[in-house]
Amino acid sequence: VFGLVCLTASGFVLAWAAPEPVPPPGTPSLDPTPRSAAAPARMDRSPATRGGLPVVPVLSYDITARLDEKRHVVDARAEVHWTNASSRPVRELWIHLYLNAFSSTRTLFMRSPASSRRTAAALVEAGGITVNRLSAREFGGRDLWRDAARHSPGDPADDTDIRVPLPEPVAPGGSLHLDLGWVARLPRLVERAGYVGDFFAVVQWFPKIARLEADGTWAHFAFHPLTEFSADFGNYTVTVDVPAGFSVAATGQPTSTSTSSGRRLVTSEVRGVHDFAWVAWGSAITTRTRVAGVDVDVLSPRGHPLELEQTLATVQQSLPFFEHRFGTYPYPALHVVIPPEDAQAARGMEYPTLVMTGGPWYAPYLGLRSIEAVTAHEVAHQWFYGLVANDEHAWPFLDEGLASYAESEWMQRAWGNGSALHLPWLSVSTVAESRTAAVEYGHLEPIAQPADQFDSLEHLGALAYWRTSTLLRTFGNVYGQARLEKALGRYAREQRGQHPDPEALIGVVREELGDPAASNLRKALFERAWVDYSIDPITHASSNGAAIRSRVVVRRRGALTFPVPIVMMTGRGARKMELWDGFGASHTFESVGDPIVSAAVDPEHRVLLDDDLLNNAAAVRSPFPWRSLGRGVSLAELVLLGLGP
C-alpha cells in the first residue's frame, strides 16, 4: 500500500543534512543500476518452464465470474482444490470474506477510528459477499455453509473471518475438492474496493481460504483498516465476463479472449500467487509495452498523458532494478492501473502481478515525485508481499518496510537529492523525508507488531514504512551498502514462496552484517530502541603556561550502538579523526598543543536514525549559523506541508 506520500512531507529537514549515499550529484539520470556481470540472466517467461515461481501451491481456484455493471454485482462460481499441507488433521476451514468489511458501518473495518483509515470516505453504498454454495466432493456434496459461523469470532457485527467446521477431519496430505458459489456486491468505492462510474476495482471479492500453518493452526483474522492480507500460494484460472468494450486487467496472464452478444470473456491464468484481483473499466486507455521480457499493460484515464508517461518510465526502469536486487520477476505479465480522478481511493495498492498506482495529476507541476514513488513502491511489492509472502496482519513492516526501502533505493538511484521534491530552488530527497518521520515517531511504538496494534495509520506509516526504511539505510551506511544488499538479496531469494517472520530477516542480517548489526536490528524492531549522538562543549585547560589541553566528549544516548567517526579541527587548521565503536555512554578525546576548535560526531550523518542531528557538532567559535538553519528548516517545512496533496 502507499497512501502516505505526504503524511510527513515535513521530511526535508534533511535536505541539507542527509548524506547522499547514491553517487551522481549531477543531473539526475533515469538509468537504473548499471547491469554488472552479476545481473540475473534473462530467462524464459513461459509459465510452463519459467524458473523462480513459488513452489508447491496448496490451492487451486478455477473461477468464472460475471460482472453486472448496472447492478454492481459479480456473480461467481469456483472449483477449489485445497490440500492440507500441515502436519495435523484439519477439522475446519477458515474463510476470509474481506469484502464484507463494507457490508455496514458496524463492521470492524468501518467502526474503527477514522485515524486508522486511508480515506475518510463514508459508506455510500454497501458491498459484501453472499456465499450461496459451499460443498466438498469428499463429503458427498453436502452443504458445508449451513454449519458455517455467522460472524467473525466474538464479533457479531463483523463477518470477514468465518469458521467452517468439516464433517470429518482431513488428514495431512489429504485434499478437498470444493464447489463454491457466491455473489460479490461491489460497494461504491471504499478505500480500494468497489466501483465508481464505469471503473470497477474487483478486489477481495472471493471467499479466500485462510493460510494453514505447518503446525495445523490457521492464520486468520478479521479485516481491520490497518491490516492487509495473508493467504497460501495457489494457481488460478479465472474467466471474467464483462460488457464488450470494457478493458480488463487481471492477476496473471490473459490466455484467451472472446466477444459475443455484447459481452467479453477474458480468461487469465497464473501459478504461484496468493491473491487474485481484477479491474474492469469501460473508458480506460490501454497502453502495452514490454519490459525486460515481461508484458506490461497500463490502464489509465484520458487526459493525463504526463502521469502515464511517468508511470511507464518508472515501471520500465524499476522492474529491472528490483530484479537485479531481489531476483527475477517470475510471471510473464504485469498490469498497472492508474485509477480515474474520482477513484483516487483505489490508488496505491498491490496485488500479485497487478498494481494500482497514480498520484495527484498536478504533482509533476509542483515538483513532487509522488507518481514515480507510488509506482516504484507498488512494483517493489511484487517482491515484498507478492513473492516473499509474510503475514501482512502479523508483521506489516516486513512488506511495507522492505517495499519502502526498495522504493527509496530506486528513487535515490534515479533522482538523487531531488527524489521526493525537485524545484529550481529546493530539492528534497526521499531519504530525508523518511528520516524525519522515522525519528519523530521512533519512541512511541515498536516497528515489529501486528498491524491492528498501531495507534493510527500515521504511526503505522512512520514506523512500519519509514522507520524500517531508514533503519535499513542506516545499516547500509554504517556496515556497508554491499553487505546490506547481499543480505536483502538473500532474504528475497531464499524466502521466495515462503511466509517468513522477522527472524528470517534478522538471520540474514546476522550472517552478512554481523552480530552487532543483528542485535541493533532486533532492538530497533521490537524494543523501540533509538540513538542520539552528541558532543559536549569543547573545553581547553592550561596551567602555569603549559601547552593547552583540549577535551572533546562525545555522548551516546539510547540503546542502539553504531560505530561513528569523530572529526576535529584545530586552530591551525589540522584535521583529526577518531573512530568510536559507539559502545558505552561516552567517549573522551584529549589532545595537547594546537587547540581543537571544532568537532563533529558522524559528520556525514550516516546514522540516519540519530534522533537529533543538530547536536552532533560543537565549535569554540561557531563557524556555522546553526540557529538560522533551524529557523530556515521550520519555515521550509511549513511551505512544503502547504504543497502536499
406 binds Zn ion per the rule CB under 5 A = no
Between 354 and 403, whose beta carbon lies closer to Zn ion?
Answer: 403
CB neighbourhood size of 261 (10 A):
5
**Minimum separation from the CB atom of position 226 to Zn ion (A):** 12
Contact region with Zn ion (CB under 5 A), list: 29-37, 188-196, 285-293, 397-405: 397-405
1 binds Zn ion per the rule CB under 5 A = yes
Between 372 and 400, whose beta carbon lies closer to Zn ion?
Answer: 400
Contact region with Zn ion (CB under 5 A), list: 152-160, 254-262, 337-345, 396-404: 396-404
Between 202 and 380, whose beta carbon lies closer to Zn ion?
Answer: 380
Number of residues counted as binding Zn ion (CB under 5 A)? 4
Tell me the C-alpha distance between 333 and 320, whole Å.
Answer: 14
Tell me the C-alpha distance between 185 and 206, whole Å.
Answer: 11
Between 67 and 398, whose beta carbon lies closer to Zn ion?
Answer: 398
Contact region with Zn ion (CB under 5 A), list: 64-72, 325-333, 394-402, 614-622: 394-402
Residue keyed to cell 508481499 = 385
**Minimum separation from the CB atom of position 399 to Zn ion (A):** 7
Between 400 and 532, whose beta carbon lies closer to Zn ion?
Answer: 400
DSSP code of residue 20: -
Contact region with Zn ion (CB under 5 A), list: 1-9, 55-63, 475-483, 576-584: 1-9
**Minimum separation from the CB atom of position 425 to Zn ion (A):** 31
Asked if 256 and 293 count as a contact pair (C-beta separation under 8 A), the reply is no
Is residue 435 exposed (0-12), middle (13-18) or buried (19+ Cβ within 10 Å)?
A: buried
Tell me the C-alpha distance between 308 and 337, whole Å.
Answer: 10
Tell me the C-alpha distance between 454 and 396, whole Å.
Answer: 10
Between 2 and 195, whose beta carbon lies closer to Zn ion?
Answer: 2
636 alpha carbon, distance to own chain's centre: 28
Contact region with Zn ion (CB under 5 A), list: 15-23, 185-193, 224-232, 395-403: 395-403
- Cross-strand pairs, 589: 552
For 491-543, the DSSP string reads HHHHTTTS---HHHHHHHHHHHH-HHHHHHHHHHHHS---BEEEEPPPEEE--
**Minimum separation from the CB atom of position 523 to Zn ion (A):** 25
- Cross-strand pairs, 592: 549
Between 400 and 433, whose beta carbon lies closer to Zn ion?
Answer: 400
- Torsion sign across C-alpha atoms 411, 413, 414, 419: positive
Asked if 383 and 326 count as a contact pair (C-beta separation under 8 A), the reply is yes
Secondary structure (3-state) at 61: strand
Between 5 and 76, whose beta carbon lies closer to Zn ion?
Answer: 5
**Minimum separation from the CB atom of position 599 to Zn ion (A):** 41
* Residue count (the chain): 645
Residue 412 belongs to what H/E stretch?
Answer: helix 402-415
**Minimum separation from the CB atom of position 348 to Zn ion (A):** 7
398 binds Zn ion per the rule CB under 5 A = no
Between 392 and 602, whose beta carbon lies closer to Zn ion?
Answer: 392
- Cross-strand pairs, 163: 94
Asked if 73 and 185 count as a contact pair (C-beta separation under 8 A), the reply is yes
Between 232 and 400, whose beta carbon lies closer to Zn ion?
Answer: 400
Phi, psi of 191 (to 5 degrees): 50, -115
Contact region with Zn ion (CB under 5 A), list: 112-120, 175-183, 393-401, 628-636: 393-401
Tell me the C-alpha distance between 45 and 34, whole Å.
Answer: 23
Which has the closest alpha carbon to 525: 517, 513, 534? 517
Contact region with Zn ion (CB under 5 A), list: 392-400, 423-431, 479-487, 518-526: 392-400
**Minimum separation from the CB atom of position 378 to Zn ion (A):** 7
Between 65 and 488, whose beta carbon lies closer to Zn ion?
Answer: 488
**Minimum separation from the CB atom of position 349 to Zn ion (A):** 8
Contact characters 504-543, Zn ion, x per CB under 5 A: ----------------------------------------
Residue 588 belongs to what H/E stretch?
Answer: strand 586-592
Asked if 113 and 453 count as a contact pair (C-beta separation under 8 A), the reply is no
Between 54 and 461, whose beta carbon lies closer to Zn ion?
Answer: 461
Secondary structure (3-state) at 587: strand
**Minimum separation from the CB atom of position 357 to Zn ion (A):** 11
How far CA 462 is from CA of 518, 532, 607, in Å, comes to 22, 18, 17
**Minimum separation from the CB atom of position 384 to Zn ion (A):** 9
Q: Which residue is nearest to Zn ion (CB)?
A: 1
Between 158 and 378, whose beta carbon lies closer to Zn ion?
Answer: 378
DSSP code of residue 453: G
Q: What is the footprint of Zn ion within residues 582-641 (CB under 5 A)? A: none
**Minimum separation from the CB atom of position 114 to Zn ion (A):** 20
**Minimum separation from the CB atom of position 2 to Zn ion (A):** 5
**Minimum separation from the CB atom of position 407 to Zn ion (A):** 8
Binding stretches for Zn ion (CB under 5 A): 1-2, 400, 403
